[in-house]
């Protein structure tokens, strides 16, 4: 029996006991039966256990065959390479040399049947993209055929804060090419060092100033209306333009008239200045946002009986 010769003359660094050799032989025989029956997972477990008891190149070749049958072709290739790399002594048994020769032939056949996957990227963000397959960073350059086990694989390409995913099913002996179009990088319209909507603070301040200016204008207009009424009363009470102190009614009207004149003047001037400043801010903001899209902003002065202000659409 091949296993008997291989295990008795194993080149391990220690001397196996008779019981260990018998146990390894028993496990190897059971594993071979399971492999022939198509139960490759159970055969792999027993071959691996036998190899842990008495390491042997013949067992490692069988382990590689089980891994290949289970679709774990990359692990199988690693096992074949392990056998090929074994240093054999001049007195090593013939079955060990045959196992190494078999590993060379089986590895060549396995590599020929191993699926190959080529990922190709297109788009302006290609140079900065990160490619992962099944969660692991792609080994080697993008665009180069890379061997993978057969089955379903998930390709994830990350460019900036965007991730594009594709799925591909690989089959033995076939090569697949997947082209992924990367979207252009996002253009951040926000100025550096700011947060929230661009120029949002300026827009809020502009509306606030327009509101304050409008209120000032209303106060000024109301004061002006009262001013005209009291002016007519003063012309009646003080026909020569002089109000005498012995006429309390004329003095009260004159005092009220001077106060209304002050309030109306301040309200109209301050309201106009503040409102104009707010309107200018809104206009600058509207023009700035209009550069990135259709112009949807407008400022329109409104004059109506008892009201003066600015109407805006943003």
Residue 17 belongs to a domain with what CATH number? 1.25.40.10
Same domain, 274 and 173: no
Does residue 104 form part of some domain? yes
Token code pair at residue 105: 């032939």
Does residue 193 form part of some domain? no
Which comes out higher in pLDDT, residue 154 or 141?
154
Does residue 186 form part of some domain? no
Paired strand residues for 166: 155
Tell me the pTM: 0.56
- How many domains does the chain divide into? 3
When pLDDT is averaged across residues 141-166 and rounded to a whole number, the result is 89
User: Which residue, 88, 112, 136, sits at the end of a domain?
Assistant: 112
Euclidean distance between CA atoms 304 and 82, whole angstroms: 94
Same domain, 139 and 105: no
Euclidean distance between CA atoms 63 and 55, whole angstroms: 12
Euclidean distance between CA atoms 43 and 31, whole angstroms: 4
Does residue 10 form part of some domain? yes
The top-scoring range by mean pLDDT among 46-50, 226-230, 291-295 is: 46-50
Euclidean distance between CA atoms 307 and 260, whole angstroms: 19
Strand ranges, E, within 207-275: none
Paired strand residues for 311: 300
Euclidean distance between CA atoms 38 and 27, whole angstroms: 17
Euclidean distance between CA atoms 1 and 9, whole angstroms: 13
Does residue 195 form part of some domain? no
Query: What is the domain range of residue 232?
Result: 200-313
Which comes out higher in pLDDT, residue 251 or 54?
54
CATH number of domain containing 162:
2.60.40
Mean pLDDT rounded to a whole number for the chain: 74
Q: What is the pLDDT of residue 86?
A: 87
Does residue 270 form part of some domain? yes
Q: What is the DSSP letter of 127?
A: G
């Amino acid at each position: 029996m091949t296993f008997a010769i291989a295990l008795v003359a194993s080149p391990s660094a220690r001397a196996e006991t008779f019981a260990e050799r018998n146990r390894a032989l028993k496990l190897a025989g059971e594993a071979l039966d399971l492999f022939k029956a198509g139960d490759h997972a159970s055969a792999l477990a027993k071959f691996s256990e036998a190899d842990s008891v008495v390491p042997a190149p013949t067992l490692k070749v069988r382990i590689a065959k089980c891994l290949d049958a289970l679709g774990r072709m990359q692990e199988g290739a690693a096992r074949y390479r392990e056998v090929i790399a074994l240093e054999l002594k001049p007195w090593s048994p013939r079955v060990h040399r045959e196992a190494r020769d078999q590993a060379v032939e089986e590895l060549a056949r396995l590599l020929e049947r191993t699926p190959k996957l080529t990922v190709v990227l297109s788009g302006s963000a290609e140079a900065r993209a990160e490619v992962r397959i099944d969660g692991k960073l792609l080994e080697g350059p993008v665009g180069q055929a890379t061997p993978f086990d057969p089955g379903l694989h998930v390709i994830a390409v990350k460019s900036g804060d965007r991730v594009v995913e594709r799925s591909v099913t690989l089959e033995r002996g076939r090569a697949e090419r997947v082209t992924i179009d990367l979207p252009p990088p996002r253009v951040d319209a926000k100025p550096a060092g700011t947060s929230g909507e661009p120029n949002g603070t300026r827009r809020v301040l502009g509306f606030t100033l327009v509101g304050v200016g409008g209120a000032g204008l209303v106060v000024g207009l109301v004061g002006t209306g009262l001013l005209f009424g009291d002016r007519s009363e003063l012309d009646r009470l003080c026909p020569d333009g002089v109000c005498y102190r012995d006429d309390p009614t004329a003095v009260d009207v004159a005092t009220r008239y001077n106060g209304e004149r002050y309030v109306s003047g301040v309200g109209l001037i301050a309201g106009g200045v503040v409102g104009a400043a707010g309107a200018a801010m809104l206009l600058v903001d509207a023009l700035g946002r209009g550069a990135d899209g259709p112009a949807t902003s407008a400022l329109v002065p409104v004059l109506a009986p008892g009201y003066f202000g600015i109407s805006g659409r943003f």
